[in-house]
Amino acid sequence: MIEKALTSADVEFVTTLHGEEQVSFHVLLQPRGEQADRLLRAIDDIALGELDDAVREGDTPEGDEAMTVGEKALEVSLAALRAAGAPAEGRLVDDHPLDALKGLVGEVGADEVIVLTDPHYVEEFFHRDWASRARHKVGVPVLKLFSHSKA
């Protein structure tokens, strides 16, 4: 589960996690504009020392515009995973991402879930981030990773 396009460092990281074992990826992307309110995102930016980003949170796409940005981010991410030699397919999530994740885990028989996002300190502190909540819902191990750099 991701919230923005994977960077090349992210792709290298997730495709090498299991060494030489062949893995396939089923990517769910919920655009960042849909997952948390602006205040929480701004607090995260401030906690990371990214004051300029905190000021620009109001410019983050929301609604239909976020979905269009999300479609592009998903396409880029899937192409990068495939270019790295990993079978990959994916879909956008516009509502209830953890329900979609649980459904996908059952549908494809996933062995584990990787949640790869920027840090979200407020949600993580209260264990309300995707990974913490998914651990109680999906029935398989959940690995929480932080994006290596800005997309």
Looking at residue 56, its pLDDT comes to: 58
148 burial type by CB count under 10 A (0-12 exposed, 13-18 middle, 19+ buried): middle
Looking at residue 34, its pLDDT comes to: 44
**In sequence order, what are the residues at sequence separation of 6 or more whose Cβ sits closer than 8 angstroms to the Cβ of residue 100?**
28, 91, 93
- State the pTM of this model: 0.77
> Based on C-alpha coordinates, what's the Rg of the chain?
15
Q: How far apart are CA 9 and CA 147, in angstroms?
A: 8
| 24-35 tens-digit pLDDT | 999 999 876 544
Helix (H) or strand (E) holding 79: helix 63-83
Residue 127, classed as helix, strand or coil, is coil
User: Which tops the pLDDT comparison, 18 or 120?
Assistant: 18
**Which tokens in the block code for residue 25?**
């990826």
| 54-71 tens-digit pLDDT | 555 555 555 555 568 889
Q: By mean pLDDT, which of 28-32, 72-76, 84-88 is the weakest?
A: 28-32
Looking at residue 130, its pLDDT comes to: 78
Task: Compute the average pLDDT of residues 87-108.
Answer: 93
Looking at residue 101, its pLDDT comes to: 95
Q: How far apart are CA 123 and CA 138, in angstroms?
A: 19
44 CB neighbour count, 10 Å cutoff: 21
| 104-129 tens-digit pLDDT | 999 999 999 999 987 776 666 666 68
**In sequence order, what are the residues at sequence separation of 6 or more whose Cβ sits closer than 8 angstroms to the Cβ of residue 70?**
29, 30, 31, 34, 92
- β-strand 88-92 against 25-29: which pairing, if any? parallel
